[in-house]
Amino acid sequence: MSGQTRTVRLPVVERILEANDGIASSIRAELARRGIFAIDLIGAPGSGKTALLEATLRSLKGRRKPAVLVGDLTTRRDGDRLARWCDRVVQISTGEGCHLEAVQVRDALGGIDLEGVDLLFVENVGNLICPVGFDLGQSVKVGLFSLTEGDDKAAKHPYLVTAADLILLNKIDLAPHLTFDRSLFEADVRLLNPDVPILGISSTTGEGLDAWLAWLDRRAAGD
Amino acid sequence: MHEFSIAEAILTQVQRHAPDDALVRDVSIRVGVLRGLEPEALQMSWTAVIAGTAIDGATLTVDQRPWTITCSTCGRSWTSAVPFVDCACGNTTPAPTGGDELDLVSITVDQEETS
């Protein structure tokens, strides 16, 4: 060695989340092999993700064989709520993690008997930003917003809106008590993602749930 | 704070790609605006994840890509830091499009001359 050094710039074009994306691809292939349609449900804390899944699982009882993965920083409360409606529920504790990553989904799936399962719901950690960029091997991403969050929520979280295959607007039963401007919300969504369906729902009253379940059936059937 | 996960992923990649005998000076990445990465949080996470590693002290250069705004009324297209803006022609709803790229672009290293 001469001791001389030179500074060189080495071009390396590679996706930063390549490791996550690789695991997600293998999950996607495995789910496809088993005929499982997977939904990554993303919404803010308090938007009603768990309540929506409770209502959904109740409606699917006897008709579908779902499994559920539910991510939270801490506690098993959501998992316990959902276990009343489904016997294949895994709670994933993310500790300080603000989102689920593919490796956590792969490990959680390893703990469930997937025989006969046809739907997989993944309730992501309550957060509108971090979870969007991490591929989990899902078939579709569903963005859940709610009237109580305010009508500018979609505009403030463009990544979820552009990435979503469906936008659900929850708590529509509260509309008489709030100043939520639904046309403004929908106009913002349309600017970011012109073709995404937007469905108004109420997990409490059941309004709009038929349309959500019909969308799910249609997409799971490959339409 | 997904910046930390991303900083960790960058570190793993740099460790894989940087030559063993090289001193890593800088890591350059490209980030689409949709990613919602907070530059300060990313720099803070970067400093934290590389502390005590072989690349401790390496800088992180972030090429943050902006929104592209396209006006369907007058056909004009331009870049913008924010998505919801008016067009000079008067249209208040030109369409924002943004990328979600998150790529490692290059690693700058000091290498011993072997000649």
Q: Say yes or no to pLDDT of B58 above 70.
A: yes
* Residue B105, min C-alpha distance to chain A (Å): 5
Q: How far out from the chain centre does Cα A9 lie?
A: 39
Share of chain A above pLDDT 90, in %: 85
Q: Return d(Cα A217, Cα A223) in angstroms, integer.
A: 9
Amino acid at B60: L
- For chain A, what is the radius of gyration of the CA atoms? 19
Least confident of A131-135, B1-5, B33-37, B83-87: B1-5
Q: Say yes or no to pLDDT of B86 above 80.
A: yes
Q: Say yes or no to pLDDT of B115 above 60.
A: no
Between strands B23-31 and B59-64, the pairing is parallel
A18-220: in CATH 3.40.50.300: yes
Note whether A4 contacts B112, CB cutoff 8 Å: yes
The predicted structure's pLDDT at residue B20: 85
A1-35: per-residue pLDDT in tens?
456 889 999 999 899 999 999 999 999 999 999 99
Q: Return d(Cα B10, Cα B3) in angstroms, integer.
A: 10
DSSP reduced 3-state for A199: strand
Chain B nearest-CA residue for A191: B95
DSSP reduced 3-state for A98: coil
A73-126: per-residue pLDDT in tens?
777 788 889 999 999 999 998 887 889 999 999 999 999 999 999 999 999 999
Q: Say yes or no to pLDDT of A44 above 70.
A: yes
- The length of chain A, given as a count of residues: 223
B contacts of A101 (beta carbons < 8 Å): 5
Q: Return d(Cα A47, Cα A149) in angstroms, integer.
A: 8
ipTM, two decimals? 0.86
The predicted structure's pLDDT at residue A74: 78
- Measured torsion, CA atoms of residues A93, A99, A105, A107, in degrees rounded to the nearest 10: -50
Q: Which DSSP category does A222 fall into?
A: T
- Tell me if chain B has a CB within 8 Å of the CB of A10: yes
Element (H, E) at A154: helix A153-156
Q: How far out from the chain centre does Cα A141 lie?
A: 5
Chain B nearest-CA residue for A130: B2
* Residue A194, min C-alpha distance to chain B (Å): 9
Q: Return d(Cα A87, Cα A66) in angstroms, integer.
A: 9
Parse chain A into domains and list their residue ranges: 18-220
The predicted structure's pLDDT at residue A54: 96
3-state secondary structure chain B: CHHHHHHHHHHHHHHHHCCCCCEEEEEEEEECHHHCCCHHHHHHHHHHHHCCCCCCCCEEEEEECCEEEECCCCCCEEEECCCCCCCCCCCCCCEEECCCCEEEEEEEEEEECCC
Q: Across the interface, which of A15, A130, A187 has its CB nearest the CB of B2?
A: A130
The predicted structure's pLDDT at residue A149: 97
Q: Return d(Cα A68, Cα A31) in angstroms, integer.
A: 14
Domains for chain B: give ranges and CATH numbers: 2-12+22-108 (3.30.2320.80)
